[in-house]
Amino acid sequence: MLAVVLDALVGVAEDKPAKRYLTVYEAQEKFDKGLISIREYNESLESK
């Protein structure tokens, strides 16, 4: 049972990409192309 739970947790952790910080220029470019949401764009600006 424990192995199943641990395997599920590891699987979820592997699916989530590492948070990568964007430069303002990269964020603007990705937002303009529709590759990131307004929320992700704002988060990238707040992290500076």
Residues in Cβ contact with 22 at an 8 Å cutoff, skipping those fewer than 6 apart? 30, 44
- Structure tokens that stand for 44 in this block: 């990238």
Rounded-to-integer distance, Cα 16 and Cα 3, Å? 20
pLDDT given at position 23: 85
What count of Cα atoms within 13 Å lies in the side-chain half-sphere of residue 16?
Answer: 8
Q: In terms of pTM, does the model score above 0.75? A: no
Query: Whats the size of the chain, residue-wise?
Result: 48
pLDDT at 33 over 90: yes
pLDDT given at position 47: 61
